[in-house]
Structure 1
Amino acid sequence: MKHFEANSPFARDIAAVLHPHTNVRAHLEKGPEIFTRGKGLFVYDEDGREYFDAAAGLWCASLGFGVERLAQVAYDAMKNLGYYQIFRGASHSAAIELSERLLALTPCPMSKVLLQCSGSEANDTAVKLVWYYWNAVDKPEKRKIISRKGSYHGSTTIDVCLTGKPEFHAGFGLPFPGFLYTDMPYYYRHHVDGESEEQFSQRLADSLEQLILEEGPETIAAFWADPVVGGSGAVLPPKGYFEKVQAILRKYDILFVADEVICGFGRTGNMWGSQTFSLTPDIITCAKALSAAMQPISAVLINDRIFEGMKIQSDRNGRFVHGFTYAGHPVAAAVAIETLKIYDEIDMIGHVKAMEPIFLGGLGALKDHPLVGDVAGCGLIAGVEVVADKKTRAMFPASVGLPAKLEANALKQDLILRHVGNRLAFSPALIITEAEINDLVSRVKALLDLTLAEVS
């Protein structure tokens, strides 16, 4: 129930709040859905209605909502050192311990950790470090960056250039020159009849190499990829894809940046998506589950090659001139440390591995539904492809308004999930139980049945 009283949160929101990823004009009439609390996998609105959040907020509430242990840690940290910066050699114990813990967890050898405040900040910073490195080794012409169509890497001006989704560029005069986009590894949607996953991967690798040769390998600085493409609805790489891509990057001396903002800390069934898909990046960016979303914090992990370049540039320029006021915030760092401790104590990776076959099996059973063309996932992240024709993989025309129908029918099941066009994405809190998975699958089947009745 919406409240239009002048002093209600609903009316005050319309008067004051500008919402991301929201139609500005429509919001003035529809208004917000105001949430007041959360517990476990569930959130509650101002009227007490309970919702099953199958997206863990924005892929990030890995320990669920309302984690009192982390709240207590934040309170204690705030009392002790409510804020301090890490500029000009200043430090504090939380920044040190968190960085040490992250280096101990890395999927491949890393040298240093640069703490930041968000996934967007981490990716934006990583772009600067890529350019910083190539300038350090006297190859400033290596400046172009390749990412992938359909990818999402953040909302800063530079991150949106990394993002391979035209709707993120529209109206902003973006992207800037020098950002290139290769094919998205979306086997189900883009393979040709009779093409195996390995053949599809080889075709995409050949396309990437052709792009590099056309642009000039001496101009390409880095390749950006998230292990699972979250921006297109949890799309997994096909067999052989990253093996072939990494060989090309090594061939032309192109840095590899793994965006682990969504995939890091257990989401794919390992601590890192890089472990799940055998990646050896030069730089890793991470955020979200680093603090179980209880505090805004992120990190950029760099290998020794990048750090050696940073030392050269720091000597040339007198110092490394980069930083954010709240980077390495002692409260956020303390919460992140405690989050990592919790993961270890409850064997979060073991739990995800135990739930994975139940989760993927439950969603996989939906492939028999008339609207479902494909289900793919790993760990506790998955995508369900909704199609008009299972045989041809044809999608519904825009006039059908499928995304709006899917969202509305999900809410009828008191279910919150992410949808990217015709694809449903699932990333529940990593603490999900077998009973909750069964509950989730039941709600998804119900929303699909409602949608089928509307489009038939």
Structure 2
Amino acid sequence: MLENPPLTNLQTRDIESLVHPYTPIHQLKSTGTVIMGRGKGVYVYDTQGRAYIEGMSGLWCAGLGFGDEEMIEAAIEQMRALPYYHIFGAKSSEPAIELAEKLKEIAPVPISKVFFTSSGSEANDTQVKLAWYMNNAMGRPNKKKIISRIKAYHGVTVMAASLTGLPSNHNGWDLPVDRVLHTDCPHHYRFGIEGESEAEFTARMAKSLRDLIEREGPDTIAAMIAEPVMGAGGVVIPPKGYYEAIQAVLDEHDIMLIADEVITGFGRTGNWWGSQTLNMRPKTISAAKQLTSAYAPLGAVMVPEDVYQAYVDHSATLGTFAHGFTYGGHPLSCALGVKAIEIYQERDIIGHVRKLMPVFEQRMKKISEHPLVGEARYCGLVGAAELVADKSSKRSFDPRNGVGPKTSKLIEENGAILRALGDIIAICPPMIISEAELNELFDRLETGLDQAEAWVSTEALRAA
């Protein structure tokens, strides 16, 4: 099998026409691209006819898989009725109203109003603007800084990318912007001190946050934003008690907690929300991705009544609430959000996730024993395998060796699509996956890991 077979005409057209996100675009003419033609269930099929288990739900988002007929019919029905309208200037549509009401019903904390965006990045960007707007309304013009965390991922717009705590999202982009602070990443495996228990590590994380707040001044900090489980930063799952400890520090200093539920919302962790699984008590919530099972773009910001009343007060002062997006509350997207939530409820998708969780856990534990894997971590139906050069010392590979991307490619050649986050292999299958399909996905993952282990040994990449 050729390492890089000749490009097809469609691949050539693709490379000449598109800018590919999160891709080494300087290599595309030699590596080529994979072009998908169709999908059904948990499988996608490229234009060459090859089938893959989509083990990442696309980008953590296609929870209902591909080609769901109820979702398709809902889209067709809405397109025929009202293919587009906005919610500017006191206009609205039935799908936007119905989806907002459904979100309020299933929210993990009391929610009064929903503001729609087109994506998770826009939702998190809006969270910052709304926090600033609220504090201006409350006569606190200096309370504007936002705390995020190292290795967090909150999107790619200018502010959301600033909140993101990954060097690749800052280097070359003149980011982060002012008013953004980053505290420690709550990953005990990678950042715990030798001999430090998880409880001691959690206490240190809380102290570090407190020190940051007191150093900056609590009167200058509006909010902290956090993913219940950190996604693109490596599927980092905080130790038990972490959010309770963090919440106590935030409450003491009158700093609200924003939950970024873009990945963890709608059943992924075995509850409607990751906040419920991880014992978070957020003030406001961002949602997207599985909100429509990715059948159309949509994001949402969910706020309680007291926060909304601050917006009302400032609107009265300024004359209007001057924020919004052309496609926020798009009737097609909202109709698909309504249908997705109905399907989650009627098919008991959360119950299905919980049924599969022991299988997922068992297979992840087996993955953790692989010679190439330092830690395998998981929560619900999302997990990651961190690849290391030495298991006992946790020593990482030199990033220039590209062990993670190579492993991901080998897994792909075995018919499964997973995602390399550096040298971390993430797994996030559609929530509709069957037990047999889940086991097949892990079988293909294990085969790819074995091949990667052989490649690492051949290339002598374990040398210190």
Task: Tell me whether the two structures share a fold, i.e. TM-score over 0.5.
Answer: yes
Distance in 1 (alpha carbons) for counterparts of 2:330 and 2:368: 45
- Distance in 2, matches of 1:28 and 1:159, equals 31
- What pairs up with 1:412-431 in 2 under 5 angstroms? 412-431=413-432
Tell me by how many angstroms 1:167 deviates: 1.0
Q: Give the aligned partner of residue 36 of structure 2.
A: 35
Asked if 1:327 is matched to 2:339, the reply is no
**Where does residue 272 of structure 1 map in the other structure?**
273
| Aligned twin of 1:350 | 351
Alignment of 1:215-364 (within 5 A): 215-364=216-365
Structure 1 segments, 4+ long, off by >6 Å, are none
In structure 2, the residue matched to 1:171 is 172
Deviation at 1:404, TM superposition (A): 2.7
Instruction: Deviation per CA, 1:114-136: give whole Å up to 9, x if none.
Output: 11111111111111101011111
CA positional deviation for 1:4: 5.1
Deviation at 1:210, TM superposition (A): 0.4
Q: Distance in 2 between matches of 1:399 and 1:244?
A: 37
The Cα offsets for residues 193-226 of structure 1, whole Å up to 9 and x where unpaired, read as 2211111011011001101111111101110100
Q: For residue 3 of structure 1, report the CA deviation from its aligned partner.
A: 7.0
- TM-score normalised by L of structure 2: 0.96
Unaligned segments of structure 2, at least 5 residues: 458-464
Q: Does the residue aligned with 2:232 lie in a helix, a strand or coil?
A: helix
Matched to 1:376, the amino acid is: R
Bigger Cα displacement from structure 2, 391-400 vs 34-43: 391-400
Instruction: Name the structure 1 match of 2:461.
Output: none
Residue range with higher mean Cα deviation, 382-391 or 96-105: 382-391
Quote the offset at 1:399 in angstroms.
4.3
1:9 corresponds to: 10
TM alignment of 1:97-116, pairs within 5 A: 97-116=98-117
Task: Report the counterpart of residue 88 of structure 2 in structure 1.
Answer: 87
Q: Do 1:13 and 1:31's aligned partners in 2 also have CA atoms closer than 8 Å? A: no
After TM superposition, list the pairs within 5 Å mapping 1:114-125 onto structure 2.
Answer: 114-125=115-126
Query: By how many angstroms is 1:28 displaced?
Result: 3.5
- Structure-2 separation of matches of 1:130 and 1:157: 16
* SS of equivalent to 2:355: helix
**Aligned equivalents of 1:290, 1:3: Cα separation in 2:** 39
Contact 2:7/2:32 (8 A) holds in 1: no
Distance change (3 Å), C-alpha of 1:367 and 1:11:
closer
Aligned residue number for residue 409 of structure 2? 408
Q: Pairwise mapping of residues 114-193 of structure 1 onto structure 2 (< 5 A)?
A: 114-193=115-194
Aligned residue for 1:449? 450
Counterpart of 1:63?
64
Cα deviations by residue, 1:385-415 (Å, 9 ceiling, x for unpaired): 2112111111112343212321221122111
CA distance in 1, matches of 2:302, 2:5: 45
Q: Which residue of 1 aligns with 2:462?
A: none
* Aligned-partner Cα distance in 2 for 1:152–1:219: 23
Unpaired segments ≥5 residues, structure 1? none
Task: Look up the equivalent residue of 2:174 and give its one-letter code.
Answer: G
**1:204 paired residue number:** 205
Contact 1:264 1:286 (C-alpha < 8 Å) held by counterparts: yes
Q: State the secondary structure of the residue aligned to 1:52.
A: strand
Structure 1: distance between partners of 2:333 and 2:143: 35
Which residue of 2 is the match for residue 397 of structure 1?
Answer: 398
- Over the matched positions of the two proteins, sequence identity in percent amounts to 45
Q: Is the 8 A contact 1:3 1:11 kept in 2?
A: no
**TM-score for both structures, normalised by structure 1:** 0.97
Deviations along 1:76-97, one digit per CA (max 9) or x if unpaired, are 1011011111001111111110
1:73 deviates by 0.9
Give me the whole-angstrom Cα distance separating, in 1, the residues matched to 2:408 and 2:378. Answer: 21
Query: What RMSD over aligned residues (CA atoms) do the two structures have, in Å?
Result: 1.3
Contact 1:3 1:10 in 2 (8 A): no
Which residue of structure 1 aligns with residue 380 of structure 2? 379
Q: Distance in 2 between matches of 1:186 and 1:60?
A: 24
- How many residue pairs align between the two structures? 454
The Cα offsets for residues 151-182 of structure 1, whole Å up to 9 and x where unpaired, read as 11011111011101111111111111111100
Residue 224 of structure 1 contacts residue 259 of structure 1 at CA under 8 Å; is this kept in 2?
yes
Distance 2:305 2:279 in 1: 19
Q: Tell me, in whole angstroms, the C-alpha distance in 2 between the residues paired with 1:2 and 1:335.
A: 39
Contact residue 44 and residue 52 of structure 2 kept, 8 A: yes
Structure 2: distance between partners of 1:398 and 1:28: 22
Distance 1:4 1:455, change over 3 A: closer
Offset at 1:339? Answer: 0.6
Matched residue type, 1:188: Y
Q: 1:281-307 CA deviation, whole Å, 9 max, x = no partner?
A: 111000000101001011100012211
Distance 1:4 1:378, change over 3 A: closer
| Contact 2:405/2:422 (<8 A) preserved | no
Give the partner amino acid of 1:288. Answer: K
The aligned runs of 1:73-84 (5 Å cut-off) are: 73-84=74-85
Q: Distance in 2 between matches of 1:28 and 1:325?
A: 36
Contact residue 37 and residue 44 of structure 1 kept, 8 A: yes
Deviates more, 1:364-373 or 1:90-99: 364-373
